[in-house]
Structure formats: C-alpha cells, structure tokens
Amino acid sequence: MAQTKQHVPQLGKDPLKKVIAAMTVEEKVKLIVGMGMNYDNIPDGILPPKDPADAKIPEKVPGAAGRTHAIARLGIPSMTLSDGPAGVRIDPKRKGEKRTYYATAFPVGTLLASSWDTSLVSRVGRAFGTEVREYGIDVLLAPAMNIQRNPLGGRNFEYYSEDPVVAGNIAAYFVKGIQADGVGTSIKHFAANNQEYNRMQLNTNLSERALREIYLKGFEIAVKKAQPWTVMSSYNLINGTYTSESRGLLTQILRNEWGFKGMVMTDWFAGKSATEQVNAGNDMLMPGIYAETTEILESVKDGKISQQQLDLNVERILEMILKSPTFKHYKYSDKPDLVKDAQISRIAATEGMVLLKDNNNALPIAKTKRVALFGNTSYDLIAGGTGSGDVNKPYIISLNQGLVNAGYVLDNGLQKEYKDYIVQAKLNRPKPKVAFFAPAPISEMVLTDEMLQSESDKTDVAIFTIGRNAGEGNDRIQENDFDLTAIEQQNLKNISAVYHTKGKKVIVVLNIGGVTEIASWRDEADGVLLAWQPGEEGGNAITDVLSGKVNPSGKLTATFPLKYTDVPSAKTFPGQLVGDTTAPGNPLMGRAAAVTYNEGIYVGYRYYSTFNIKPAYEFGYGLSYTKFAYSGLRLNDKTLINNDLTVTIIVKNTGKAAGKEVAQLYISAPAKQLNKPAYELKGFAKTRLLQPGESQTLTFKITPADLASFNTAQSAWIADSGSYTVKVGSSSLQIKQSAEFKLANDVIVEKVKPILLPTTEINEIK
Ligand code: BGC
C-alpha cells in the first residue's frame, strides 16, 4: 500500500504549537539567530565571520540592518528589519538599477519630542510606517528612547528627553502611529544606554531606584500604552550583567511586571554569551553570528538551554512573523509618497523648534528685510545625526535655499563665498575610516571687519547658524563642541558689534542635535531659534518659523545648563576603563569600562530645581510670538484614597498672533520615607492653534501610580500619604497655578522583586 505523504504544518494554517513541534532544533536555532547585515563597506577584521550559507541569500531590501532566516518547508518567510529613528535607512541605489530608493528624512527624535505633541508624533509615525511597509520592510528599529542623562551623549539627538514621562509618551504615540500601518517597531536600547563610550562593554552602575524611576520608566510607559512588536536590548551591562543576558530585565520586569507581549532582540553584536541571552528571554540575536549558532546548538544538547525556553523564544518570533506584511504577502510598491511625507516632515520640524530668545520682537523677520546669512550650516544644513540614525535622503533644503524659496533677498556675494569655502574645506578634511561615523566638522570661515562692514551696509538683519553633529560610536566633548569654537565666538562677537552699531538685529539659529553652551554668547543675539536637526525640509521649516508663517510652540525636553560643570553627571561622564587598561581594545567590542550614576534620580530638571542650580534655559522652556494666560486650575477631588485625580486648567491666548501652548503638570510629593525631587513632571498637553483671545481647557489624569516612588527597602512602588501640590506651568520654572490635594493613606501601588541590584557602593547625592 502506498504511504500517504505526511502533512508538514504550515505557519498561519496550522496551530502555532504544531509548527513549532515540527521544527528541528537546527531550524529553531536558525530562527533565533538572525541574518544580514551586509558588511561589504566595513573593513575586514572588525566584524565576526558570517555563516557562509547566508552570504548566498540575496538581500530583499539592500541596506536594511538585518533579516531573519526563512524556513520554507514550514511556510516561514524571512523578515526584514531596518533602522532607524529619523527615516527608513536603506541603500538608495541597487546594483543594475537606474531608479533610486530614497526615504524621507524626518526631524530627529529630540525635535519631535520638543513638540510635546503626541498627535503630531503619531502622524509622523503613520507617514514613517507607510514608508516602512512600501519598501517591503517588516520592523522599524525605532524609536530610540534612552534618557538624555548628559548633554555629551553621542546619540542624544535620536533620544527624546531627560525625563521619562516625555520619552515614554512620545515613544508610545510614535509606535502607535507606525504600527497602525501594519508594521512593527523596536523600542531601543533597553536600557540605561545613555552614552557611547565603550558602549559594548560599558558597565553602568546605578541604584535600583534610579534604574526604575528614571531609566526604565519611559520604556514602561511605551510598553503599556503601545505594545511595540519588539524591544531591542542594549549593548551595556547594568550592575555587572549585560542587559541582553538579564532575565531579571527581559523576563521579570519587561514581561511579568509590565505585560510586554512581543519579542526581544539584541542590539547588533551585543553581549557575550548567546546561551545566557536565550535563557534571559532575549528571543532573537542580531544580526546573527555563525559562532552563536554553534554555541546555542551545543547548549541545547548539553541542557544549558531547555527545549521549553527555546520553544518559547521561537514562538514569540513566529508571533511577530504572523503579524508582518511579508507573511501576509503584502504587495509593496517600492514607491512611498515621498512628496507627501516631505510635507509632514516639514510640518513636524516647525512644531518642534524652540524659540529661546526674542528681544524686542527681533523675530519674525519681515519678508522685506534683506538678510545676511552667516555660518557654514546655513548653507550645509545638518538634517540629522550620523550612524544608524542617519537616512539616505533624496535632498536637504539648506536654510539658504529655504529663505530664497520664501522670497527673502539675500546677498549673493556672501552666499557664493560661503558655498565655495565649504566645498574647499570639505575636500581638505580627513575622511572617517568608516563612512558610518560622523565626519570631522569643518571650521568656520573667519569673518573680517571689512566683510562685515560691507555686509551690514547691504542688509537689514544678520542670521548666524551654529551647527553640531554627532552620532553612534562616539560621545561629544566639551571643547569646541558643547562650547563654541574660538572662531564661532569671535565671528558672533564681530557680527553683533557691527550690526548693533548700525541698529540692525542679529539672529542665531542652532542647528544642533544636543544641548550646547549658550549663556556666554546669548547676549550677542537679539533672537535665538533652536532648530535642532530638522530633517530634509529643514531650511524651509526654519524659514517658516523665522518668517512667522508658523508660530513656534516647541519647548525644551532637556535642560540647557549655564555651564557644563553644572550638569549633575559632569564628574562621572563618560566613566573610565576597568581591568587591564593597557590591553588593546577589541575592534568591535572596544574595552571594558564602567560608569557610576551617582546623581541617582536627580537627572536634568529634577537636579536643577531641587538643588536650586539656575540653568540657562530650563526644562519645558520655549517662547512664542504670542502670550498665554493660565487660569481656573481645578482638581475634581481634594482627598484621594485610591482613586484617580482629574485636573483641568484654562489656557488663553492673550497676545496678537495665533499660537499653541504646551502646558506641563508637575507634582511635589511629601518626602516621608524617601528623599524626593522638588517636583516631577506627571503630565503635559498641547493646545490646538488658539486664535488671539481664544481659550482651551486642558485636562490631565493623575493615578496613584503617578504619585509613587520606588522604595528599594520595601521593593515596592509606594505613594506616601500626605499633602501633594499640583503645579501647572509653561515650563519647569514658570509655574502659573498650583493647588493641593491629600492622599489619605499610603498606597502600595505595586510590590515587585528586587532586580539588577548594584554590586558596588553608589554614593548618591541626596
Ligand atoms: C545600533 C542600533 C541599530 C543597529 C542596527 C546598532 O549599532 O546601536 O540602534 O538599530 O545597530 O543598525
């Protein structure tokens, strides 16, 4: 009798458990160990050898950061994962094809967050998600949402804030927007990855309270509000354990405490032990190293990894695949609407720019004014940072072009001089060894008195742009980066002297990705616009704000200190080498290093306001071309037991231009068992565009969980009984209205297991 052919379970058609049961151990490991990326542009000897079999599998989307292995006999397709936070990062050109595959460069993360506008961020997410889907990608490796602990963090531009409530909410709405397009996200880098210094072997020592209240809180908010398909664990260690190898972090906290339903992947080449990663619940290892496959197979054989654990990780990966457009045979067009998305990029950019200074209505600049445009980045705008957060964009609109597009008259001679200077300076600068890293900045042209005299005769106003770039792999430094260079200082002084003598105004535009020094030079300028790194439409967007077409409504999501030494982590950043400091660093992994967060929970404004350190511009600060008044603060209850609190306030536009206002809600909590910051942000809301005279009532919801601090001794989130003050303001220092309420009893919001405890003593400031 002829034997009937045995049915092979198929993904999506048969129950998932049956598909898993039909998989060989080798197939399971294939799924767990990823595939890609194309290393052709990286010099030999830096990255570990690939599985030779993988090299033969053609890339579906060239330039994407990674893929998963297909297992055809079970109907499991290969997923494509791509960076990154500011745009879909893929190769713009493909072998043998004439057409291009550019993606929209949206504004960097810090700018998006500075809009404090969750619906705008969702809208950007939708546009972004469509590009992901239309380019045949399944998961976007974004958003990046680590805390901006120190202004010099090299990837701060990708991150959102020094505050977890801002970071968590902005990330949540970005994720919701992207995932509404049927593609996944990967919130990263989980967690406490706040700098680049020896990032792959950096041990971050910090207290459990600081970890939970500051560095995990944003991820918790994003997970609970948006359920990202995936989480990317980080490179660093926390208190001696690699995050990708920490079961406490990836299983206990992420899944058991927060209810995360998706899957976890490593950051690229992260960690040391593949076995520990699998056991921690780090489901997928990216981008997949041959040696990991052999190690995991051995560990399964030896029983170091249980079948059950292996199956669990496989199941989570398959659940993600089931949701993906590739699995659903989505017919992607390879033609996202880049024209439409450019407009969204431009709108978003204008919404997140922050007006720092505007004396005597220096801004907006009337179209009739003749403009002298100084500074390299006026002509060579930095649209975004470098590294995996970079995008292959179709174009960048410079500020020069933006002003011309809007009809401003610029001095042609000066434009030509700058353009020629920049071309020459770029030819002369050293090339980075790997194109991925930031190129050396070019120095500013020295502006002579003769030149300035003639320019100031020909023009009515001077704009001086100061630019900074940074990115993955390197932190910034104080000299010539956080601080202005000597030439920048001199140029600004001279422009200011000459223009002011003639009664003409000077505007500074900051085209930067992170906090810089500002206090020593701001008196030279009548207006300062923080334009951040605004994406491909940057020049048009800056012009929209400078011209008054858009009234600025962005606010700072990080403090600008008076000087670097005021930063609470100035003394400990970026840490130091540990172990044998003379041994040569590994070309990929760098060296073993450590950093100790002895400022504890006092990061950013929590520090400046509690210890009364005056900043240059405080957290939450930002001006507008109009004015707002706050009134009618109301709490629905004055005594809470275990219930939520509803807070309302009326914001009225009392000025002459239409505008939007970001209202921030801070709470001062009683300090009973623990030291507490002076106040902490617990909510924020942005008004719609209010016409002069128009008002809007904003509503905030506060739950007992929002009032809780992490009490390490009791291993619990506790809201202490006592008197609380609600403060609503236009910044962390401009509190407009406040009111009190009482919490009748201590509320133990959640009891948890102690996790990732420090292994060395940390002398935290109090
Ligand atoms: C970065 C990640 C990125 C990954 C893939 C890593 O070096 O840290 O943010 O997603 O590379 O490109």
168-200 residue pLDDT tens = 999 999 999 999 999 999 999 999 999 999 999
- Type of residue at 12: G
Q: Is the pLDDT of residue 435 over 90?
A: no
Return the pLDDT at 695. Answer: 98
Rounded to the nearest integer, the mean pLDDT of the chain is 96
| Phi-psi domain of 187 (left: phi exceeds 0; alpha: psi -120 through 50; beta: other) | beta
User: Are 274 and 292 within 8 A, CB to CB?
Assistant: yes
Nearest CA, atom 9, ligand 1: 388
Ligand 1 neighbour 160 (Cβ under 6 A): no
* Residues found in the chain: 766
The CA distance from 136 to 127, in Å, is: 15
The CA distance from 123 to 345, in Å, is: 10
Rounded to an integer, the average pLDDT of 407-436 is 89
Q: What share of the chain is helix, strand, coil (3-state, %, to 5)?
A: 30, 20, 45
**Distance between Cα 723 and ligand 1 center (Å):** 45
Asked if the bond preceding 96 is cis, omega within 30° of 0, the reply is no
Q: Is the pLDDT of residue 36 over 90?
A: no
User: Are 242 and 152 within 8 A, CB to CB?
Assistant: no
The CA distance from 126 to 121, in Å, is: 9
Ligand 1 neighbour 81 (Cβ under 6 A): no
Query: Would you state the structure tokens that stand for residue 360, as one six-digit string?
Result: 């005597």
The whole-model pTM stands at 0.98
Q: Is the pLDDT of residue 436 over 90?
A: no
Find where tokens 């699995």 sit: 327
To test the pocket of ligand 1, the residue of 91, 145, 472 to mutate (highest count of ligand atoms within 8 Å of its CB) is: 472
To test the pocket of ligand 1, the residue of 268, 437, 472 to mutate (highest count of ligand atoms within 8 Å of its CB) is: 268
**φ and ψ at 658, to 5 degrees?**
-70, 145
Q: Mind listing the pLDDT tens digit for each residue in 38-92? A: 776 777 788 888 788 888 898 999 999 999 999 999 999 999 999 999 999 999 9
Return the pLDDT at 430. Answer: 82
Per-residue buried b or exposed e for 529-552, using 16+ beta carbons within 10 Å of the residue's own CB: bbbbbbbbbbbbbbbbbbbeebbb
**Distance between Cα 268 and ligand 1 center (Å):** 6
Q: Which residues make Cβ contacts (< 8 Å) with residue 489, sequence separation at least 6?
A: 520, 521
Q: Is the pLDDT of residue 1 over 60?
A: no
267 is an active site residue: yes
Q: Mind listing the pLDDT tens digit for each residue in 41-50? A: 777 788 888 7
Q: Which residue has the higher pLDDT, 385 or 584?
A: 385
User: Are 682 and 667 within 8 A, CB to CB?
Assistant: yes
Ligand 1 neighbour 196 (Cβ under 6 A): no
Rounded to an integer, the average pLDDT of 447-459 is 97
Return the pLDDT at 3. Answer: 54
Given 181, 267, 283, 341, which residue is catalytic?
267
Query: Would you state the structure tokens that stand for residue 663, as one six-digit string?
Result: 């209202």
Nearest CA, atom 7, ligand 1: 268
Return the pLDDT at 201. Answer: 96
Q: What is the DSSP letter of 67?
A: E
Rounded to an integer, the average pLDDT of 298-323 is 98
Nearest CA, atom 5, ligand 1: 65
Q: Name the band, by pLDDT with cuts 50, 70 and 90, for residue 4.
A: low
Ligand 1 neighbour 269 (Cβ under 6 A): no
